[in-house]
Structure 1
Amino acid sequence: MTVTCEERSFWWDAGRPALATVEPLQAVVFDLDGALADIERDGQRQAFNAAFAEHGLGIEWSVEEYGRLVCIGDEQRRIASALRRAGFGRVSAEIAAHVHRTKNEVFEDSVLNGDVTPRAGLDDLVNSLYFAGIPVAVVSTGARSWVDPLVRQLIGDGIADTVVTPDDLPRPGREPDLHGHALWELGLGPESALAVAGGPRGYLAARAAKLATVVVTTGYTVGADYTGAADVRTSYDGLLAGGCEVLHRRHWAGR
């Protein structure tokens, strides 16, 4: 019988044997959105502001204000909420749809123009992983049209062994599948990899995929609940391949 992508299950779904030894670290899976770059603050926020300006709406989100708004996960609802507060009333949802399309175009252009920069210290970590022979994977909930060029800009061309977006999934929208698919492409189980997330959304997705996870918070994600994380940091300062191996081993040894 042929097994389709929709029927595929991962071998680690059966659980980890009670007496299993700790596997060596064989890959690090980064969440693009927050871990590689502070995309919300430095990319999406500025694209929203440019879209508002293009439509002549007189709205501009500061770093602090946008930090309060990111809790509204649906971006069109986020825009409509701001429009209602600005007095646009019942037409807010309709205007928001137009603004959102413009924002997506502006954001993709900014990515292609190299306007989004990597988080401080990321280069050192990625280079140390490369020289240690530890493969790097990247997952993102974004569109491949901008994810691929952005990954190349942030960590270099050809550095990531695999980049996984919802376009690769048989059932788009299930975030844990991004990490599971990355592991599947690498030929690894979760005990052999370490995830790096930038906030609660990426952290929960990585943990749902059974990965030991390091969280490197941003200004918007610091202080959230990361219970069970292998480590929670505010920066990459001093984190290199050897440190990743220690955190990975400590996490699984403690289990």
Structure 2
Amino acid sequence: MPALIFDCDGVLADTERDGHLPAFNETFEEFGLPVRWSDEEYAEKVKVGGGKERMRTLLTPDFVAAAGLPADPAALAEQVAGWHRRKTEIYTGIIRSGGIPPRPGVWRVAMEAYEAGWTLAVASTSAEASVRSVLELAMGPELAAHFSVFAGDVVPRKKPAPDIYAFAVHRLGLDPAHAVAIEDSRNGMLSALGAGLACAVTTSAYTQEEDFTEASLVVTSLGDPPPEETVTRVLSDPLGAHPGPWVVLADLAALLPDGGGAGSTASGPSAAGAPGSAPPGPDPRSH
């Protein structure tokens, strides 16, 4: 059966501006660090894969001296790890508060894939605790339980390196040619393509102007039918998937060399409400 592998931040929920950025800045304040990232500065930081890696961009000699940080590399690395642990705690608290909604269509498409027998996974270079909190927000705990999660430091190189997707397909025993990744950034797209996966892109707050020339499908979101009524806009469709007002599983299956095989037969706005189906749980947005 095919697989559907979601990125987390910017794909399951648009978490960067209202989740990660305030969590970084609150962490900097708690540790007395002489920095607060503006929205414009953070728009550049998101191009660096991984939270600890973004924090390490601060560590110029002048910053280390101004902040009174240790010069010893091992001690400095432990300091950054401590900042990142606290940042993850703050971020997961923001997510669990419910202030950041899931992105349109992610639950609907994941449910359709689950019912069609597809493998479901998340591949992200964010901390695993952060990823799991967003996954449960977007999918609800029952559907989230059917996802494999590959996150954090399980691979040595972060996106755009292909490591996280290569690791995911290896652990799941998949042929990468039978997997579709959903990403929101150029770095994520390059990671998925480098591991041999097809890649659909749903642009997010910080990535709308990035170059997605190599993607198999680029849309503004997966979209949702009424009552949510979020209509997707197709930005690039080189393979001729021709999604309607919202993306369905068959549109993503069309990105695979064999059209997704037996798992690609679902069609229409959603298969989640099909007679006789036994979905793991309701759309979390109804809670």
With normalisation by structure 1, the TM-score equals 0.71
* Secondary structure of the structure 2 residue equivalent to 1:157: helix
Q: Post-superposition shift, 1:100?
A: 5.2
> Is contact 1:212-1:251 (8 Å) kept?
no
1:27 partner amino acid: A
Please say if 1:207 is aligned against 2:193. yes
Q: Which amino acid aligns with 1:46?
A: P
| 2:192 partner SS | helix
Instruction: Answer whether contact 1:76 1:93 (CA < 8 A) is retained.
Output: no
> CA 1:45/1:166 → structure 2, altered by over 3 Å: closer, same or farther?
closer
Kept in 2: contact 1:230–1:251 (CA 8 A): no
Amino acid in structure 2 at the alignment position of 1:91: A
Once residues 67 and 173 of structure 2 are traced to their aligned partners in structure 1, the CA distance between those partners, rounded to angstroms, is 47
User: By how many angstroms is 1:149 displaced?
Assistant: 3.3
Which of 239, 242, 253 in structure 1 is aligned with 2:247? 239
32, 44, 50: which is aligned to 2:20? 44
Q: Is the 8 A contact 2:126 2:152 kept in 1?
A: yes
Question: Contact 1:136–1:162 (CA<8 Å) still a contact in 2?
Answer: yes
Q: Which residue, out of 133, 137, 141, partners 2:117?
A: 133
2:204 to 200, 218, 222: 218
- CA RMSD after TM alignment: 3.3
**Unaligned stretches of 5+ residues in structure 1:** 1-24
Change (3 A) 1:32 1:117: same
Tell me by how many angstroms 1:52 deviates.
4.1
Name the CA distance, whole Å, in 1 between partners of 2:151 and 2:45: 24
CA contact (8 A) 1:29 1:139 kept: yes
Residue 256 of structure 2: aligned partner = 248
Measured at CA, do residues 71 and 242 of structure 1 come closer, stay the same or move farther in structure 2, by a change above 3 Å?
closer
Assess if the C-alpha contact under 8 Å between 2:23 and 2:90 holds in 1. yes
Q: Which has the higher helix share?
A: 1
Bigger shift: residues 183-192 or 193-202 = 183-192
Contact 2:12 2:106 in 1 (8 A): yes
Match of 2:141, SS state, is coil
Per-residue Cα deviation, 1:214-250 (whole angstroms, up to 9, x for no partner): 1111121122222321111221120111211123348
1:91 pairs, out of 53, 66, 89, with 66
* CA distance in structure 1 between the partners assigned to 2:123 and 2:3 by the alignment: 13
Match of 2:174 in 1: 188
Corresponding residue SS for 2:254: helix
Change in Cα spacing, 1:123 to 1:197, as seen in structure 2 (3 Å) is: same
2:122 partner amino acid: V
Give deviations 1:40-76, integer Å, cap 9, x for gaps.
2221111123234445678654544422443455322
Q: 1:76 aligns with which of 28, 37, 55?
A: 55
1:21 corresponds to: none
5+ residue gaps in structure 2? Answer: 71-78, 224-245, 261-287
Q: Provide closer, same or farther for how the CA distance between residues 251 and 79 of structure 1 changes in structure 2, counting only shifts above 3 A.
A: farther
CA distance in 1, matches of 2:91, 2:130: 9
- Give % identity: 34
For the Cα contact (< 8 Å) 2:201–2:215, is it kept in 1?
yes
* Aligned length, in residue pairs: 222
**What is the alpha-carbon distance in structure 1 between the residues aligned to residue 256 and residue 134 of structure 2?**
27
Distance verdict in 2 for CA 1:58–1:182, change over 3 Å? closer
